[in-house]
Amino acid sequence: MAPFEKVARDALYIGGAWVPAAGTGTIEVIDSTTEEVLGTVPEGTAADVDAAVAAAVAAFPAWSARPVAERTALCTEVAGALGARMETLAELIAHEVGMPLTLSQLVQVGLPMASFSSMAAVAEAFTWEEEVGNSLVVREPVGVVGAITPWNYPLHQIAAKVAPALAAGCTVVLKPSEVAPLNAFVLAEVFDEVGLPAGVFNLVTGYGPVVGEAVAAHRDVDMVSFTGSTRAGRRVSEVASATVKRVALELGGKSANVLLADADLATAVPDGVGKCFLNSGQTCSALTRMLVPRAKLAEAEELARAAAEAFTTGDPFDPATRLGPLVSEAQRDRVRNYIDKGLGEGATLVTGGAEPPEGLDRGYFVRPTVFSSVTGEMTIAREEIFGPVLVLMPYDSEEEAIALANDTDYGLAGGVWSADPEHAKAVARRLRTGQVEVNGGGFNPMAPFGGYKQSGNGRELGTFGLEEYLEVKALQL
């Protein structure tokens, strides 16, 4: 475990300055590996949200009037400043969340850098005005954006909202997850360093039922963008509906990875295990349901067992570690409970289980786990577990596989494997989900990210992410 000095953050970033919170409460941030206090942040209140929104409202006219090139130039500067802090940020997020350090650099810092740096190209290529008959159609910033973000990819989820919002000309009030908020303070320092005008970005830490709800309900917040659980997303929608503001939601998933009859299992199964276990399974788009032809189930089980058992669990700062801890005690207990439910409902345990990994009694660790012979009505096939738990589901026909894949309340991601790429794409088109990997196709940070059904509405990243923060106006000429 890398040494880390406790971080005591005692102020919020509002109106371009570090100011004390209205209340006196503090929130402890826990190191997911050691279970020790990593740092503290202010427990914000509704009064703090009022102050942050007022600052964002005051900053909006001047910021929205700035040329697009100036706004995106600042985004480019932010990307560079994050890059200069990559090592420190990656270590911090590895402590907060538990992702192995090498991956933390690549994903937890690399993706936020890409979100900010790509906005210059996206905004420059964007059609801000167009003539439609006798009308001039213009796109304008939506206004003050309330961003409420989760803990699993904390800085990435912040950047995926804040970068396009700023490029669009919006001002922002951010409420990061109280579980992993320290990285957001580093971003605020970066904004201060690059000279972002006062009030364009504001940071208020606190709990969802207090700060989150105050942001979603605020009459001067024009849009709320939320990433988190479907349950919490429903509440955000409910609260925001009182002021009929725009709401963008990126919620849960229970994504199916469909291995067709002619798929190369030796390649597809290990890839699928990796796509399920990334970030210890704490990924909304994780491919957690692997659909396998019944005749090949035994083969898939052995391949999945070998792949899962190769995920060395341990200290995220050990180069040999492939699977770090879960983010919190509550999350660890939740995942273990799901493993017990799987056993209780008759699923076959291929590897793993609810017991702590050997030699890891301290830290929020869970064994990499694979279940087989899982049926569509089992809890572990229907509910989002958010841990390193993969379920293998057998099917007897391609039509049944597609039906199983779509038999979910969610629709965030998916995968299809076939020896025939065109056939794989044809099946992918039939999955009701926002993204589909075809034969292991890689994540594209410029492609639209978001879901169907209860996985939310709206899209993030690239041009589609920019469009979320724009209003459309028609000037009749």
User: Is residue 75 among the annotated active site residues?
Assistant: no
Q: Which of 434, 476, 431 lies closest to 455 in space, CA to CA?
A: 434
**Residue of 284, 301, 437, 460 with catalytic role:** 284
**Residue of 77, 96, 178, 250 with catalytic role:** 250
221 by Cβ neighbours in 10 Å (0-12 / 13-18 / 19+) ranks as buried
The enclosing H or E element of 76 equals: helix 68-84
**Alpha-helical runs (H) found in 207-366:** 213-217, 230-240, 265-277, 297-309, 329-344
| Calculated CA dihedral for residues 172, 214, 248, 379, nearest 10 degrees | 130
End-to-end CA distance of the chain: 65
User: Is residue 467 among the annotated active site residues?
Assistant: no
Residues ≥6 apart with Cβ < 8 Å to 82? 89, 109, 112, 113, 116, 187, 190
Beta-carbon count within 10 A of 129 CB: 10
Quote the DSSP letter at residue 453.
G
HSE-up (13 A, CA, CB side) for residue 428 = 21
Tokens of 290: 């692997």
Residue recorded with tokens 């509906």: 241
The three-point CA angle 184-190-194 to 5° equals 150
The strand pairing partners of 85, in sequence order, are: none
Cα–Cα distance, 356 to 412 (Å, whole number): 30
Quote the DSSP letter at residue 383.
S
Cα–Cα distance, 358 to 117 (Å, whole number): 42
Report, as residue numbers or ranges, the catalytic residues.
250, 284
